[in-house]
Structure 1
Amino acid sequence: MCPHRLAVCSSTTNRSRFFAGFVLVATTAPASSGVAAPPLDEGAAARRVCAEGPAAAAARAERLRGEAAVTAAGVLPNPSLSIQHQRTLSGPAESETVVGLSVPLGLGGQRFLLQDAARALREQARSEAHATRFDAALAFREAYVAAAAEEARLAVLTRQQAALDALSGTIERLARGGESTSYDLLRQRTQARVHGRLLASARARAAASRVLLAAWTGEAVTLSPEGLAKLAGGPAAQAAAIAQRGATPAPPRLRGLEAAARARELEAEAARRRWIPDVEVFAGYRALSGATQETGHGLSLGLTVPLTFFDHGQGDAARADAEQAVALAAAAGLKRESAARAETASARLGILEAGLAEIERAVAEAAALESQAGRLYAAGEASIAELLDALRAAEEAQLARIDLLEEIALARLAWMRATGTMLDATLDHACGDAVGGTR
Structure 2
Amino acid sequence: MYRIIAAVLAAASLAEAAGAQTAPSPGLPAASAASQTAPIFTLDSALAAGGMSPSPSAANISSTTRPLGGPSAAPTSLPSVAAATAGVDAATAARRVAGLRPNPELQSQVENIAGSGVYKGLRSSETTVGVALPLELGGKRPARVALATARLTRAQIQAEIARADLRLRIIQLYIEAAAAERRADVLAEQASIAANAFRASRERVTAGDVGPIEQQRADVLRINAQVAAESAARQAQAARTNLATLLNAPVTGPLDQAWFDRVDGYGPPRPIEVEGTLTLAAAEADVRTADAQVRVAKSLRVPDLTVSTFARRLQATGDTAAVVGISIPIPLFNNGSAFVAQSRSEQTVAVAQRNLAVIDTRQAIASAQAEVANAAATARAAGGPGLAAAQEAARIARIGWAQGKFDQIALLDAERTLSQTRQTYVDALAAYHDAQARLDRLTTPAPLVSGDNR
Give me the TM-score of the superposition, normalised by structure 2: 0.72
- Matched to 1:62, the amino acid is G
Percent identity over paired residues: 25
Matched, 1:338 2:361: yes
Indicate which of 274, 297, 303 corresponds to 1:277. 303
- Aligned length, in residue pairs: 382
Structure 1 unmatched ranges of 5 or more: 1-36, 422-431
Q: Which residue of 2 aligns with 1:213?
A: 243
Alpha-carbon spacing, 1:178–1:255, altered in 2? closer, same or farther (3 Å): same
Q: 1:325 & 1:257 partners in 2: Cα distance?
A: 12
Shift of 1:183: 5.5
1:384 aligns with 2:416: no
Distance 1:87 1:270 in 2: 44
- Name the aligned partner's letter for residue 360 of structure 2: E
Structure 2 counterpart of 1:52, which letter?
S
Q: Does 1:153 pair with 2:183? A: yes
Aligned partner (choices 223, 232, 237) of residue 202 of structure 1: 232
Flag the 1:310–1:181 CA change in 2: closer, same or farther, 3 A: closer
What amino acid sits opposite 1:369 in the alignment?
A
Aligned-partner Cα distance in 2 for 1:134–1:281? 52
Counterpart selection for 2:137 from 104, 107, 111: 107
- d(CA) in 2 for partners of 1:263, 1:176: 83
Report the counterpart of residue 290 of structure 1 in structure 2.
316
User: How far apart are the structure 2 equivalents of 1:438 and 1:115?
Assistant: 14
**Partner residue in 2 for 1:34:** none
Q: 2:391·2:418 contact (CA, 8 Å) conserved in 1? A: yes
Q: Is the 8 A contact 2:77 2:248 kept in 1?
A: no
2-side partners of 1:87 and 1:171: how far apart? Answer: 117
For 1:313, the equivalent position in structure 2 comes to 336
Question: Does residue 53 in structure 1 map to residue 90 in structure 2?
Answer: no
Instruction: For 1:358-373, list aligned pairs within 5 A.
Output: 358-359=381-382, 360-373=384-397
Question: Which position in structure 1 is the counterpart of 2:258?
Answer: 226
Structure 1 position 302 matched with structure 2 position 325: yes
Structure 2 CA distance for aligned equivalents of residues 249 and 223 of structure 1: 36
Aligned with residue 374 of structure 1, among 398, 401, 418 = 398
- Name which of 119, 126, 142 aligns with 2:172: 142
CA distance in 2, matches of 1:417, 1:305: 54
1:48-92 Cα offsets, whole Å, 9 max, x none, are 445323233222222233223212212221101122444497779
Residues 67, 185 of structure 1: CA spacing in aligned structure 2 closer, same or farther, 3 A cutoff? same
Q: Is the 1:102–1:281 Cα contact (8 Å) retained in structure 2?
A: yes
Compute the displacement of 1:266 (Å).
Answer: 1.6
Q: Distance in 2 between matches of 1:91 and 1:101?
A: 30
1:69 pairs with 2:71: no
**Contact 1:96 / 1:289 at 8 angstroms: preserved in 2?**
yes
Distance 1:63 1:229 in 2: 40
The question of whether the paired residues in 2 share the 8 Å contact of 1:85 and 1:95 is answered with yes
| Kept after mapping to 2: 8 A contact 1:143/1:213 | yes
Q: 1:402 aligns with which of 385, 405, 426?
A: 426
Give the deviation of 1:40 after TM superposition: 5.1
Supply the AA of the counterpart residue of 1:43. Answer: D
Contact 1:40–1:220 (CA<8 Å) still a contact in 2?
Answer: no
| 2:266 aligned with 1:235 | yes
CA contact (8 A) 2:130 2:309 kept: yes
Post-superposition Cα deviations, 1:297-340, rounded to whole Å, max 9, x if no partner, equal 35433332333455332122222222222333333223321211
CA spacing shift, 1:381–1:42, aligned 2, 3 Å: same
Instruction: Report the 3-state secondary structure (helix = DSSP H, G, I; strand = E; otherwise coil) of the residue aligned with 1:275.
Output: coil
Selected match of 1:127 from 146, 157, 173: 157
Q: 1:249·1:338 contact (CA, 8 Å) conserved in 2?
A: no
User: Match of 2:127?
Assistant: 97
DSSP-derived class of the 2:274 partner: coil
The CA deviation at 1:118 is 0.3
| Corresponding position: 1:257 with 2:257 | no
2:194 is matched with 164
From 398, 412, 436, the equivalent of 1:412 is: 436
Report SS of the residue matched to 1:300: strand
Pick from 366, 371, 375 the counterpart of residue 348 of structure 1. 371
User: What is aligned with 1:42?
Assistant: 43
Deviation at residue 229 of structure 1 after TM alignment? 3.9
Residue type of the alignment partner of 1:60: T
2:148 corresponds to: 118
Task: Report if aligned partners of 1:62, 1:125 keep a CA contact under 8 Å in 2.
Answer: yes
Q: Quick check: 1:142–1:410 contact (8 Å CA) kept in 2?
A: yes
* 1:148–1:228 Cα contact (<8 Å) kept: yes
Q: Deviations over 1:236-281 (max 9, x none)?
A: 8x97xx67xx421655354333323322222222221233331222
Q: Is the 8 A contact 2:291 2:347 kept in 1?
A: yes
Which sits farther off after the overlay, 69-78 or 141-150? Answer: 141-150
One-letter amino acid of the structure 2 residue matched with residue 257 of structure 1 = A
Amino acid across the alignment from 1:413: A
Structure 1 counterpart of 2:266, which letter? P
- Structure 2 distance, partners of 1:406, 1:41, is 16
What residue identity is the alignment partner of 2:292?
L
Q: TM-score if structure 1 supplies the norm length?
A: 0.75
Does the 8 A contact of 1:168 with 1:189 survive in 2? yes
Partner-residue secondary structure (3-state), 1:223: coil
CA deviations on 1:150-175 (whole Å, 9 max, x unpaired) are 21111011112222323455556667
The answer on whether the counterparts of 1:174 and 1:378 sit within 8 Å (CA) in structure 2 is: no
Distance 2:45 2:408 in 1: 48
Q: 2:150 is matched by which residue type in structure 1?
A: A
What is the alpha-carbon root mean square deviation over aligned residues?
A: 3.4
